[in-house]
Amino acid sequence: MRQVYLNEYNMPTDNTVYLPYSSGLLQIYAQQSDVVNDNYEFKPILFQRDTVKNIIDQYDNPDVVGFSISIWNYRLSLEVGKQLKKKFPNSYIIFGGPSAPLESQEFFQEHPYVDLIIYKEGERLFKDILVNRLNGGKLPYHTTISCKDSPKDLDIFPSPYTGGVYTKLIKDNSQIKFKAIIETNRGCPFKCAYCFWGVTNIKKKIGFHSDEYIRGDAEWISQNKIEYIFCADANFGMYKNDVRTAQTYVDIKNKNGYPEKFRVCYGKNATNNIFQTASILSRADLAKNISLSVQTTTDNVLQNIGRKNIRSETFEKLQKQYTQANIPTYTEIILGLPGETYDSYLITLQQIINMVQGNHIFVYHCVVLPNTKLASKNYQNQHKIQTILAPLAEVHGTIRDYNLIQEFEEVVIGTNTMPPKDWIKCATISWIVQLFHSFKVGYDIVEWLVKTFNVKHIDFYEFLYNSDLPQIDNFKNIARNVTMGHPRCQKILNYGNIYYDPEEVAFLDIIYDKYYFYNCLYDVIKSFLKISQNINILDNIECGCLIKGLCNQTRDSLPNVDDFDSLQEFATQTILYGRKSTKKKEINDK
Ligand code: SF4
């Protein structure tokens, strides 16, 4: 028998990791063929991030080797591929996945050990390669191939779950807690410049799985006691079937207790269908929050990135609808988009603060992903996009051992409208907003300032940027360091063996020493009022007492470190289970 090895190294969080979904799809589809079954043995899928040597040691005379490559396993996959070819020169090495380049000539010059790239859906092409290799047919070499058509009926691709691909893998790795990825459809009708999905789906065709298929996956996942599912659909909730999918998972959770969480990326058109889907999942505590995507409110930036947002009145209406239904929302913004300026970015932040009515705001840094419009030289030249290669921000991922290959991401740190010095300021103010607004470290206080003195939230946050509040200097340093190629994520070993975002570390530090922080904040507010309103708190005892009272009240509403068994437990419960999660104490998930 010939040996097939599939590689899909996923990022672990402590002892939790995703089942290798793409590899599972390739394997189960190929195994529908008798010819494949009679001639090939699929070896256990290699899914654990490890040293190159440890991975290579698991190989024995491979015939065909497949890699699913993404931003989090790119360099490791390349190095394993290179060493494999040296050791087993007759093996045929195929790369696929979101980071496999469509324009491949340069890639093959740099990485000649890779024989073939399969772009987009790989199941049918991968099976054909296995069959053709047996027949002695000429196999494609140093080229990219892709499927001509995307099927509407996705059930032609069997499920790796119900097909039994993972049964042995789970049994052989009982120390690992697995998470699962599912998809109920493939494709996205939109074309955002920073996302590869829009580029791959030129015909805007969406393929769907049947209800039976989806129910089969749900049953298997539940019976195997998998707690966490990520639904990889691009726009969950946008289609009628999604209401049925949500109900299927709720029914199965009610029956067996699993899964506990069902994470999705909701559709960009905020329809009633999405509201219905979100309500079903939220009531069952499967997915508590819903994202209302914005990314920016600046018109020319939206045009540059090929997005159209819902109108702000519609957004506010929806926001109210979700609030009444007790479904928290969160809104995402991207920093570094082409056409954004320092001023327009602050306007975006202010508008979103107004629109979200106290719900969470998340700010992401714009990253250049392979095969996107943003990655094209023309587009980058047009907007004079400046990037830096920085260690991959593996937020909440397990801290890498020093002997593991480091992965990188290309972060946008400047454009023709936002030079790096402005990017640093915007990144810092974004962390301040997330800390004060989303983590509620100063939410009530800022609301009071806004109402009482008719100032804008962003005026106060900009003032904080220039203050000597201890966390701000740290934010500034991190932002500056990112522009020089240093990592954004923080390793604070006292808080456990995972990476945290800067605003998360700031939040943990504040809780750790609450009295000190709120004393400092009181002083900063004093200066703000003096400078912006010419009010001297020392002369205005009533105002001073009110601010002191608000500071004390906020301080006392935050969790206490002493209520946890350890600092690590405190960090995990407060951030990991408290930010976007439905699980455990939900301390800060207001
Ligand atoms: S960002 Fe979302 S909506 Fe835009 S192309 Fe990608 S998947 Fe589609």
Note the pLDDT tens digit of each residue in 280-307: 999 999 987 888 888 999 999 999 999 8
Query: If you measure from the C-alpha of residue 399 to the centroid of ligand 1, how many angstroms do you get, rounded to a whole number?
Result: 29
**Which of 11-15, 335-339, 390-394 is least confident?**
11-15
Taking only the tens place, the pLDDT of each residue in 56-83 is 999 999 999 999 999 999 999 999 999 9
Cα 200 to averaged position of ligand 1 atoms, centre (Å): 11
Q: Tell which of 120, 148, 176 closes a domain.
A: 148
Pair 380, 240 in one domain: no
- Residue 559 shares a structural domain with residue 569: yes
- Any ligand 1 atom below 6 A from CB of 195: yes
Boundary of a domain, candidates 78, 113, 148: 148
DSSP letters of 64-118?
Answer: EEEEE--TTTHHHHHHHHHHHHHH-TT-EEEEESTTS-SS-HHHHHH-TT--EEE
Domain boundary residue among 245, 270, 285?
Answer: 285
pLDDT digits (tens, 9 = 90+) for 449-481: 999 999 999 999 999 999 999 899 999 999 999
pLDDT tier at 314, thresholds 50, 70, 90: confident
Cα within 13 Å of Cα(94), Cβ side: 28
Query: How far, in Å, CA of 48 to CA of 44, rounded?
Result: 11
Q: How many CA atoms are closer than 13 Å to the CA of 111, on its beta-carbon side?
A: 23
- If you ran DSSP here, which 8-state letter would residue 427 be given? H
Angstrom distance (rounded) from CA 134 to CA 382? 48
User: Whole-angstrom Cα distance, residue 239 to residue 243?
Assistant: 8
Nearest CA to 99 among 372, 335, 336?
372
Average pLDDT in the 440-457 region?
96
With the most atoms of ligand 1 within 8 angstroms of its CB, the residue from 190, 230, 264, 334 to mutate is 190
User: What was the pLDDT predicted at 345?
Assistant: 98
Q: Which atom of ligand 1 is nearest to the CA of 267?
A: 3
- The CATH number for 64's domain is 3.40.50.2300
Q: How many domains does the chain have?
A: 3
In short, whether 198's Cβ falls inside 6 Å of ligand 1 is yes
Between 335 and 327, the higher pLDDT residue: 335
425 lines ligand 1 (CB under 6 A): no
The pLDDT value given to residue 204: 66
- Look over the chain and give the mean of its residue pLDDT values, rounded to a whole number: 93
Separation of 269 CA from ligand 1 center, angstroms?
Answer: 11
> In ligand 1, which atom is closest to the CA atom of 196?
6
Q: Are 463 and 532 in contact (CB under 8 A)?
A: yes
Residues 6+ away with beta carbon under 8 Å from 304? 193, 337, 338, 339, 383
Q: Is 192 in the pocket of ligand 1 (CB under 6 A)?
A: yes
Name the residue with the closest Cα to ligand 1, atom 6.
Answer: 195
For residues 85 and 166, state if they share a domain: no
Pocket test residue of 183, 191, 195 for ligand 1, highest count of atoms within 8 A of CB: 195
Considering the domain architecture, whether residues 330 and 390 belong to the same structural domain is answered as: yes
CB proximity list for 311: less than 8 A, separation 6 or greater:
none
* Complete edge-to-edge strand list for the sheet that includes strand 408-414: 367-368, 408-414, 386-391
Rounded mean pLDDT, 94-104: 91
| Length of the chain, in residues | 590
Are residue 168 and residue 138 in the same domain, yes or no? no
More confident: 327 or 2 = 2
Q: 259 by DSSP, 3-state: which?
A: coil
503, pLDDT greater than 80: yes
Residue 197 Cβ contacting ligand 1 at under 6 Å: yes
Contact 20, 180 (CB under 8 A): no
Instruction: Say what the pLDDT of residue 103 is.
Output: 79
3-class DSSP state for residue 571? Answer: helix
Q: How far is the CA of 353 from the centre of ligand 1 (A)?
A: 23
Torsion-angle region of 187 (φ positive above 0: left; ψ -120 to 50: alpha; else: beta): left
With 0-12 CB in 10 A as exposed, 13-18 as middle and 19+ as buried, what is 533? middle
Q: Facing residues of 94 across strands?
A: 66, 116
From 230, 239, 268, give the residue whose CB has the most ligand 1 atoms within 8 Å, as the site to mutate: 268
Q: How far is the CA of 100 from the centre of ligand 1 (A)?
A: 18
User: Quick check: 62 and 5 in contact, CB under 8 A?
Assistant: yes
Q: Ligand 1 mean position to 145 CA, how many Å?
A: 23
424 lies in the same domain as 486? yes
**Same domain for 496 and 542?**
yes
CATH code for the domain in which residue 183 is found: 3.30.750
Say if residue 557's pLDDT is above 70.
Answer: yes
For a mutational test of ligand 1's pocket, the pick from 197, 236, 364, i.e. the residue with the most ligand atoms closer than 8 A to its C-beta, is 197
How many Cα atoms occupy the beta-carbon half-sphere of 426 within 13 Å? 31
Distance CA 319, CA 292 (A): 8
Question: Is 588 a residue whose pLDDT tops 70?
Answer: no
Instruction: Quote the ligand 1 centre to 75 CA distance (angstroms).
Output: 25
* Amino acid present at 315: F
Which residues neighbour 4 within 8 Å (Cβ) at sequence distance 6 or greater?
27, 30, 40, 41, 42, 43, 62, 63, 64, 65, 66, 130
Ligand 1 close to Cβ of residue 305 (< 6 A)? no
CA 373 / ligand 1 centre spacing (Å): 12
Query: DSSP string covering 181-229, please?
Result: EE-SEE--S---TT-HHHHH-TT---EE--HHHHHHHHHHHHHTT--EE
166 CA → ligand 1 middle, Å: 29
Ligand 1: distance of its center to the CA of 90 in Å?
39
Pocket of ligand 1 contains residue 334 by CB under 6 Å: no
Nearest ligand 1 atom to alpha carbon 268:
3
Q: How far is CA 331 from CA 279, 328, 357, 491, 545, in A?
A: 17, 10, 11, 26, 34
- Contact of 576 with 570, CB cutoff 8 Å: no
Summarize pLDDT for 109-162 with one digit per residue, the tens.
999 999 999 988 899 999 999 999 998 878 999 999 998 888 899 999 999 999
Residues 264 and 335 in one domain: no
Is there a single domain that holds both residue 154 and residue 87?
A: no
Residue 47's domain comprises 2-148
Q: Which of 192, 194, 309, 374 has the most ligand 1 atoms within 8 A of CB, as the residue to mutate?
A: 192
Nearest protein Cα to ligand 1, atom 7: 234
Same domain, 82 and 181: no
Q: What is the pLDDT of residue 283?
A: 93
Looking at ligand 1, which residue's alpha carbon is closest to its atom 4?
192
Task: Report the percentage of the chain scoring pLDDT > 90.
Answer: 79
Render pLDDT for 163-217 as a digit per residue (tens, 0 to 9).
Answer: 999 999 999 999 999 999 999 999 998 889 999 886 666 556 889 999 999 999 9
Q: Residue 386: pLDDT band by 50, 70, 90 thresholds?
A: very high
Taking the CB of residue 12, how many other CB atoms lie within 10 A of it? 18
Q: How far is the CA of 66 from the centre of ligand 1 (A)?
A: 27
Extract the tokens encoding 168.
């042995």
pLDDT band, residue 484 (cuts 50/70/90): very high
pLDDT at 582: 36
- Tally Cβ neighbours within 10 Å of residue 286: 21
Could you tell me if the CB of 352 is within 6 A of ligand 1?
no
Q: Is 306 left (phi over 0), alpha (psi -120 to 50) or beta?
A: left
Give the rounded distance of the alpha carbon of 430 from its chain centre: 18
Listed residue (347, 351, 357) closest to 319, CA to CA: 357
**Burial class of residue 140 (count of CB atoms within 10 Å of its CB; 0-12, 13-18, 19+):** middle
Q: Whose CA is nearest to atom 3 of ligand 1?
A: 190
* Ligand 1 proximity of 98 Cβ (cutoff 6 Å): no
More confident residue, 377 or 589: 377
Angle at 301 between CA 338 and CA 371, to 5 degrees: 55
Shared domain for 93 and 155, answered yes or no, is: no
* Per-residue pLDDT at 202: 55
Are 499 and 534 contained in the same domain? yes
User: What type of residue sits at position 322?
Assistant: Y
Residue 260 confidence (pLDDT): 95
Cα(165) to centroid of ligand 1, in Å? 30
Closest ligand 1 atom number to CA of residue 198: 5
Q: How far is CA 271 from CA 209, 294, 298, in A?
A: 21, 15, 22
CB 209 within 8 A of CB 226: no
Closest Cα to atom 2 of ligand 1: 234
For 479, the token pair is 């932002």
> How does DSSP classify residue 180?
E
